[in-house]
C-alpha cells in the first residue's frame, strides 16, 4: 500500500515541476535578448556592461515595473493624451518597444505588480487592476480604489508605493514643507511646535493591499520623521523595508548666520534608512551631517550646526551627498550581473537643483554592495552620463534625469528618465 501511494505522488510532483519549468521557460523565451547599442545609449558603465534605449519620448516617465515576459508598465507624472499609465511591448524582439497602449486618467509616480494585480498611485489615491496570466490588465477602465484621501499639497505630493510578502502596501506621504517652519523656507523662521503635519505626512503609512476604499483611519503610520521618500524597496533577505529620504534644503538661505553657501550645498545627507515598525528618523527636528556622521539638531528647533539631536531618532545606514534627489531604490536579485551585485542596492538619483554655487550633482545610478541586509562596502557610481554634460549648473540643462528602476526577468536593469521619457535597459555582456 505504501509503494502504491508513493508512486502516484512522485509522478504528480514530476508533472507539477515539469509544468512550472515549461511555464518559466516559455516566459524566459519571450524576453528580448539583451543587445547593447554601439554607444551604450550614451551611458558610462563598468567594464562588461552595456546599455540601450528601448523606448523614447514617452512623457514624464516615473516609476516602472516589468512583467514576467519583459513587457513594461510605466507611470507618468503627468497624463499624455489623457492617459497616465503606459504598457509597452517588444513584439518583434528587436530591442525596441514599439507596441504601446495607455490607460488611467491620472498622473502620479508609483506602480508595482503583486499577487495578480497592478497597483498604481495618483497623488491622493492608490488603485489596483486585475491582471491575466500574462500580467496584462484585464479591465483598464475600471480599477479598484484601495486608498483614498491622502494629503497632497504642492511640495512632495507624489506617492511611492511598495508591497511586502504579507499583503501589506506601504505608501510614502511626503511632508508639504521643507522643515516645518512657521513660514516655510523663510528667513530664521522657527519650527512649529510638535510639527502638526506629522499626523498625516512626513512618513510611511501601511495599509492592506486587498481592502477597498481605505483612508487614514484604516492605515497605520508605520514610520515617521521622514521628510519625503521617492525610492523604497523590500529586502527579501531580512524581510525589511528600506527607504531613500530626500533631505532638507535652505540651510544658508534660511539661516545665513549659521551656515555658509558651501555648507548649505553639502549638508545634509541624502540618506538610506532600514525601517522597522515604529521607527522615527527625526525630521524636522534633526538632519544627518555627512561630515560629523551624526544627527544634528535642526536650526528651526534650536540647533547651531553642532548640537547633536536626540538619541531617540534612528541613523541612516548609508549617507550620500546632499540634494541629489534619490527617486528609486532597487535590491538586485537577478542572475545576469556578476555575483558582487547580488542583493546589492541600486539608487537612481534624479539630480540636484540647489547646490549653487557648487555644480549640481547626481543625475546617475549608484550601487551599494550589501550582505545579509547590511551595506558591505562604499557606494559607487554605476551608470552615469544621463545628463549629457560634464558639469550641470541647473537641472534644465540635463538631457535626461534618472527616475525609476526595475529588474527584468532576465536580470537586466531598466532605468526611466522623466525629461524626455527615455527608458534604458542595462545588461551585462557575458561574451565580452
Cα–Cα distance for residue pair 325/362, rounded to 1 Å = 7
Pick the more confident residue, 30 or 407. 407
pLDDT in tens, 343-352: 999 999 999 9
The residues near 217 (Cβ < 8 Å, ≥ 6 apart) are none
Q: Which three cell numbers stand for residue 275?
A: 525601517
Homologous superfamily of 34-428 in CATH? TolB, C-terminal domain (2.120.10.30)
Cα–Cα distance for residue pair 82/190, rounded to 1 Å = 42
Report CA-CA distances (Å) from 10 to 1, 15, 20, 317: 14, 9, 15, 47
pLDDT on residue 430: 59
Query: Residue 21's pLDDT band (boundaries 50, 70, 90)?
Result: very low
pLDDT for residue 12 is more than 50:
no
Query: Residue 33's pLDDT band (boundaries 50, 70, 90)?
Result: confident
Question: Which backbone phi and psi does 19 adopt, to 5 degrees?
Answer: -65, -45
Question: Which backbone phi and psi does 316 adopt, to 5 degrees?
Answer: -70, 160
pLDDT for residue 8 is more than 60:
no
Cα–Cα distance for residue pair 87/61, rounded to 1 Å = 12
- The mean per-residue pLDDT over the stretch 279-291 comes to 97
pLDDT for residue 28 is more than 60:
no
Radius of gyration of the chain (CA): 22
Beta carbons of 111 and 63 less than 8 angstroms apart:
yes
- The mean per-residue pLDDT over the stretch 309-328 comes to 97
Torsion of CA 122, 87, 48, 30, to 10 degrees: 140
Give the mean pLDDT of the chain.
Answer: 92
pLDDT on residue 4: 47
pLDDT for residue 10 is more than 80:
no
pLDDT in tens, 117-161: 999 999 999 999 999 999 999 999 999 999 999 999 888 999 999
Listed range (11-20, 55-64, 96-105, 255-264) with the worst mean pLDDT: 11-20
pLDDT on residue 230: 96
| Cα-based angle 243, 103, 387 (whole degrees, multiple of 5) | 50
H-state helical runs in 163-275:
251-254, 261-266
Q: Which three cell numbers stand for residue 428?
A: 551585462
CA of residue 228 relative to chain centroid, distance = 12
Cα–Cα distance for residue pair 280/261, rounded to 1 Å = 29
- The mean per-residue pLDDT over the stretch 289-304 comes to 97
Cα–Cα distance for residue pair 346/365, rounded to 1 Å = 7
pLDDT on residue 393: 84
pLDDT in tens, 421-431: 999 999 998 55
pLDDT on residue 394: 85
- The mean per-residue pLDDT over the stretch 181-186 comes to 96
310 sits in which H/E element? none
Listed range (13-22, 49-58, 246-255) with the worst mean pLDDT: 13-22
% pLDDT > 70, the chain: 92
Burial label for 192, CB within 10 Å (0-12, 13-18, 19+), is middle
Cα–Cα distance for residue pair 92/300, rounded to 1 Å = 58
221 sits in which H/E element? strand 220-224
Query: Residue 52's pLDDT band (boundaries 50, 70, 90)?
Result: very high
pLDDT on residue 356: 87
Q: Which three cell numbers stand for residue 150?
A: 491622502
Cα–Cα distance for residue pair 61/417, rounded to 1 Å = 6
- The mean per-residue pLDDT over the stretch 283-290 comes to 97
Cα–Cα distance for residue pair 195/203, rounded to 1 Å = 13
pLDDT in tens, 362-383: 999 999 999 999 999 999 999 9
The residues near 90 (Cβ < 8 Å, ≥ 6 apart) are 32, 54, 70, 71, 96, 97, 98, 99
pTM above 0.85, yes or no: yes
The DSSP code for 413 is E
Listed range (26-30, 55-59, 112-116) with the worst mean pLDDT: 26-30
Cα–Cα distance for residue pair 402/349, rounded to 1 Å = 6
pLDDT in tens, 190-218: 999 999 999 999 999 999 999 999 999 99
Q: What SS3 string covers 222-247?
A: EEECCCCEEEEEEECCCCEEEEEECC
Cα–Cα distance for residue pair 425/427, rounded to 1 Å = 7
Amino acid at each position: 500500500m505504501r509503494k502504491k501511494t508513493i508512486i502516484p505522488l512522485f509522478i504528480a510532483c514530476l508533472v507539477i515541476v515539469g509544468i512550472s519549468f515549461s511555464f518559466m521557460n516559455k516566459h524566459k523565451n519571450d524576453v528580448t535578448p539583451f543587445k547593447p547599442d554601439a554607444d551604450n545609449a550614451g551611458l558610462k558603465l563598468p567594464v562588461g556592461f552595456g546599455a540601450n534605449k528601448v523606448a523614447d519620448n514617452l512623457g514624464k516617465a516615473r516609476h516602472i515595473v516589468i512583467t514576467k515576459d519583459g513587457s513594461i508598465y510605466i507611470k507618468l507624472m503627468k497624463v499624455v493624451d489623457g492617459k497616465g499609465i503606459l504598457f509597452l511591448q517588444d513584439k518583434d524582439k528587436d530591442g525596441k518597444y514599439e507596441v504601446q497602449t495607455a490607460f488611467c486618467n491620472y498622473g502620479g509616480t508609483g506602480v508595482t505588480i503583486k499577487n495578480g494585480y497592478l497597483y498604481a498611485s495618483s497623488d491622493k489615491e492608490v488603485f489596483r487592476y486585475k491582471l491575466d496570466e500574462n500580467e496584462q490588465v484585464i479591465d483598464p477602465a475600471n480599477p479598484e480604489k484601495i486608498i483614498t484621501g491622502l494629503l497632497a499639497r504642492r511640495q512632495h505630493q507624489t506617492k511611492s508605493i511598495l508591497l511586502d510578502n504579507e499583503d501589506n502596501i506601504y505608501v510614502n506621504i511626503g511632508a508639504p514643507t521643507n522643515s516645518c517652519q512657521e513660514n516655510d523656507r523663510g528667513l530664521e523662521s522657527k519650527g512649529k511646535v510638535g510639527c502638526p503635519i506629522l499626523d498625516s505626512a512626513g512618513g510611511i503609512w501601511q495599509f492592506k493591499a486587498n481592502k477597498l476604499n481605505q483612508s487614514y483611519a484604516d492605515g497605520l503610520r508605520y514610520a515617521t520623521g521622514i521628510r519625503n521618500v521617492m525610492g523604497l524597496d523590500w529586502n527579501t533577505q531580512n524581510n525589511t523595508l528600506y527607504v531613500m529620504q530626500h533631505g532638507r534644503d535652505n540651510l544658508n538661505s534660511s539661516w545665513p548666520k549659521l551656515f555658509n553657501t558651501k555648507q548649505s550645498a553639502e549638508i545634509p545627507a541624502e540618506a538610506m534608512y532600514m525601517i522597522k515598525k515604529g521607527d522615527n528618523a527625526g525630521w524636522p527636528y534633526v538632519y544627518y551631517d555627512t561630515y560629523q556622521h551624526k544627527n544634528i539638531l535642526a536650526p528651526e528647533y534650536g540647533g547651531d550646526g553642532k548640537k547633536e539631536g536626540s538619541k531617540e531618532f534612528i541613523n541612516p545606514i548609508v549617507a550620500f551627498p546632499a540634494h541629489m534627489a534619490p527617486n528609486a531604490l532597487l535590491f538586485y536579485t537577478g542572475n545576469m550581473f556578476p555575483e558582487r551585485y547580488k542583493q546589492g542596492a541600486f539608487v537612481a538619483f534624479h539630480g540636484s537643483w540647489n547646490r549653487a554655487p557648487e555644480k549640481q550633482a547626481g543625475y546617475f545610478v549608484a550601487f551599494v554592495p550589501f550582505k545579509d541586509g547590511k551595506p558591505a562596502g562604499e557606494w559607487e557610481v554605476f551608470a552615469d552620463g544621463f545628463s549629457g554634460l560634464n558639469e550641470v549648473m541647473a537641472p534644465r540643462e540635463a538631457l535626461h534625469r534618472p527616475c525609476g528602476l526595475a529588474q527584468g526577468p532576465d536580470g537586466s536593469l531598466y532605468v526611466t528618465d522623466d525629461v524626455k521619457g527615455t527608458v534604458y535597459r542595462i545588461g551585462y555582456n557575458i561574451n565580452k
